[in-house]
Structure 1
Amino acid sequence: LSPQAADRLRGLDIHREVRDWEKPSDHVPVVVTLAL
């Protein structure tokens, strides 16, 4: 995140469970919540 966006960060969720899927990617979805 940019410094400006980081100041507005209110939540972060890393969906690590997708790594348990068959043939998983080396990436995982990340969801952030920002105050606007």
Structure 2
Amino acid sequence: MFRVTQSDRIACNRANQAKETALLTQVTLGSLGNQLNQQI
């Protein structure tokens, strides 16, 4: 039977958080870029 250890779960959570942070950063930068383009 496959058992997920606590450290594996923590590592998986960290990876998911990093992905979410990267996505949020891209969205934020994208919207900032759009605002700058509209102002020019």
**TM-score > 0.5, shorter chain as reference:** no
Which category of TM-score, normalised to the shorter sequence, fits these structures? under 0.3
Larger radius of gyration: 2
Between 1 and 2, higher relative CO (CA 8 Å, sep ≥ 6) is seen in 1
More strand by percentage: 1
- Scaled by the length of structure 1, the TM-score of the pair is 0.24
- Scaled by the length of structure 2, the TM-score of the pair is 0.22
